[in-house]
């Protein structure tokens, strides 16, 4: 497994629409493992393929030590009742905003073995699933903010984006990677 760079706001891949995964191959299994490792290293609860520069329709989520892989996900049911909560994103570090989303969703997808399944998400899990599925359609949480709040968030980002040369967020090496740093570089 290896840590992947996370594309940040301004990188065109974050606005791209992903393509369905025809089958879950060994290479896809490796990508899934790398995405989990990257998400955990970044202290996130979700990560979608475009965030690591890939255009496959796959995302990973882990809320309360319940890792979930969603390949080719689609929301098949969503409540009319909505909830407002603060969201952030690994691709827009240190920027947060209140987003209104359905309070409950049911997502149909393939698991990491390529088998169909459904997952019901409420509260934080429901929000995380919707957030990651949005990434797979080129949509970011800031798109849900009011004009003024989005403008304020983008102004704050303007002052921060220089910390990410090439619009890429590189995570610190893990202890295991540091032991083999000369092999990685």
Contacts of 156 by beta carbon, 8 Å cutoff, 6+ apart:
94, 95
Are 49 and 84 in contact by the 8 Å Cβ rule? The answer is no
How far lies 33's CA from each of 36, 67, 115, in Å? 5, 11, 17
As a whole number of angstroms, the distance between CA 140 and CA 130 comes to: 11
As a whole number of angstroms, the distance between CA 178 and CA 185 comes to: 10
**Which are the catalytic amino acids?**
132
């Amino acid at each position: 497994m290896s840590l992947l760079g996370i594309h940040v706001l301004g990188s065109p891949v974050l606005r791209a629409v992903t393509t369905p995964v025809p089958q879950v191959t060994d290479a896809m299994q490796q990508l899934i493992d790398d995405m989990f490792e990257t998400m955990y290293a970044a202290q996130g609860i979700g990560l979608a393929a475009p965030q690591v520069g890939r255009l496959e329709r796959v995302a990973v989520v882990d809320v309360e030590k319940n890792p979930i892989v969603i390949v080719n996900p689609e929301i098949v049911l969503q409540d009319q009742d909505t909830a407002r909560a603060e969201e952030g994103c690994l691709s827009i570090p240190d920027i947060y905003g209140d987003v209104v989303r359905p309070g409950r969703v049911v997502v149909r997808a393939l698991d990491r073995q390529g088998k169909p399944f459904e997952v019901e998400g409420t509260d934080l899990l429901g929000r995380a699933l919707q957030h990651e599925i949005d990434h797979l359609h080129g949509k970011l949480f800031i798109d849900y903010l009011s004009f003024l709040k989005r403008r304020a968030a983008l102004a704050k980002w303007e002052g921060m984006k220089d910390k990410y040369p090439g619009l890429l967020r590189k995570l610190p090496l893990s202890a295991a990677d540091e032991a083999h740093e000369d092999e990685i570089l």
